[in-house]
Amino acid sequence: MSSLDSTSNTALGGAPLGKAGLLKFLVPSLIGIGMFLVPFSTGDTINIGMGLLADGLKALLGDALPAIAVVVLCASALLTLIVKFTRPGWARGNALGELFDVAPLWLVMRLLGAAFALMTFFQVGPEVITASFTGG
């Protein structure tokens, strides 16, 4: 039986694909299709599920969204620095360690992102960063 045979009831690793495995694949896939591909009509507009969620979040948080984004970016950069240089116990061998113990290039990218976010939010620095047509 070739690996392209569609009648095979095995996963890529050769193990049988049961109902649980099939559901584990189908449910997130269908949610993704619904969120990103299926258009929804609300009032006089048509939008995808993710767009509706984004609009709802904007309506709920409004003017606080830029501040929240800056806090999240800065927290990510700060926690990455802490994990990278102090190796705390809470970040060893778990998801937090994988999230914040990144390669040096990604550390620099997070630090630059936090710096640019702060400069844009507080309108400090060169005009190329703080100008209204570049995000300021």
Task: Please give the share of the chain, as a percent, with pLDDT higher than 90.
Answer: 60
| Residue 1 reports pLDDT greater than 60 | no
Phi, psi values for residue 12, rounded to 5° = -60, -30
Is pTM beyond 0.85? Reply is no
Q: Which long-range contacts (CB under 8 A, 24 or more apart) does 93-102 make?
A: 100/76
pLDDT in tens, 17-30: 788 888 999 999 99
Domain segments of the chain as ranges: 62-134
